[in-house]
Amino acid sequence: MAVLASSQAMADEAPGAAVDWGVVTGRTVGRSNFVIHPEFGWPGIGSGFIYGAGDAFDVGGRFTFNYGSELATVIAPEIKMTGLLKFKLLDRDKFSMAISTEPGIGFIFVGGGAGMVIFFPAYLSFGIHPAPQVGIVLGADLPFQIGFSFNGGGVVFGLPMGFGPGVEFAIAPNLQLTFNMRFGPGIIAAGGGAGAGFAFKTLMGIAIKL
């Protein structure tokens, strides 16, 4: 019996363990849980700090340093500080869905000048859970932003619409690897004119539940 109990305990802690929480799918981190979620890739690096305020509601914040633009494939250093709110709309055995937002401010440095950016994003995440340790996400991002130049360049409105997949894989009950990709048009309007470029993000990360 002791051997069987030991074997079961080892299986429970083995890589690929089943989990019922998430950060990029439609699932939340769970009531009273705290998760740190560092990520790196394009357009930058950063970390999220997430607290489960309820069974279906997460709050937190994120600090990000971008070396690339969120509106186009160009170099544009930026520091972002945002809040985080996530509401779980659906959580079934194989499917989950959530809406979230990360409002905040940032400071961007480009073209020899600098400016401040205000963010009003909206995100939709639809999760598919083919196995207890795997979550696949199909996401739609509408991260609306308004920029104000410190050099008299006026106001810039940006909307880098993004659509794409992602995945979570639990290697332990309190540890998940994440990958998230979005791509689409980056719409910019300023000074009576407008244009669009190609915007994308590709981020890898690790979610640690403390």
Q: What's the pLDDT score for residue 73? A: 81
- The 8-class DSSP code of residue 174 comes to T
Three-class SS state of 192:
coil
The model's confidence at residue 11, banded by pLDDT at 50, 70 and 90, is very low
Q: Are β-strands 75-91 and 44-54 bridged in parallel, bridged antiparallel, or unpaired?
A: unpaired
Domain count along the chain: 1
Three-class SS state of 161:
coil
Give the tens place of pLDDT for each residue, 156-180.
899 899 999 999 999 999 999 999 9
Domain ranges, residue 42: 32-209
**Is residue 17 a part of any domain in this protein?**
no
| Angle at alpha carbon of residue 96, lines to 82 and 13, rounded to 5° | 90
Whole-number Å distance between alpha carbons of 169 and 180: 12
**Which whole number is the average pLDDT over 11-27?**
74
The model's confidence at residue 195, banded by pLDDT at 50, 70 and 90, is confident
Say if residues 47 and 80 touch (Cβ distance below 8 Å). Answer: no
**Is residue 44 a part of any domain in this protein?**
yes
Q: What's the pLDDT score for residue 16? A: 62
Residue 169 pairs with which residues in a beta bridge? Answer: 134, 177
Q: What's the pLDDT score for residue 17? A: 66
- For the chain, the first-to-last Cα distance in angstroms comes to 31
Whole-number Å distance between alpha carbons of 88 and 25: 10
**Is residue 24 a part of any domain in this protein?**
no
**Is residue 6 a part of any domain in this protein?**
no
**Is residue 94 a part of any domain in this protein?**
yes
Give the tens place of pLDDT for each residue, 50-67.
999 999 999 999 999 999
List all residues 6 or more positions away from 153 whose beta carbon is below 8 Å from its beta carbon: 113, 115, 190
Q: What's the pLDDT score for residue 9? A: 44
Residue 4: pLDDT over 90: no
| CATH number of domain containing 51 | 2.40.128.100
**Is residue 81 a part of any domain in this protein?**
yes
**Is residue 21 a part of any domain in this protein?**
no
**Which whole number is the average pLDDT over 115-136?**
95
The model's confidence at residue 3, banded by pLDDT at 50, 70 and 90, is very low
In terms of Cβ atoms closer than 10 Å to its own Cβ (0-12, 13-18, 19+), residue 136 is: middle
**Which whole number is the average pLDDT over 28-37?**
97
List all residues 6 or more positions away from 14 whose beta carbon is below 8 Å from its beta carbon: none
Residue 6: pLDDT over 60: no
Whole-number Å distance between alpha carbons of 206 and 201: 16
The model's confidence at residue 124, banded by pLDDT at 50, 70 and 90, is very high
**Is residue 4 a part of any domain in this protein?**
no
Q: What's the pLDDT score for residue 44? A: 96
pTM of the full structure:
0.85
The first and second tokens of residue 140, run together, are 């739609």
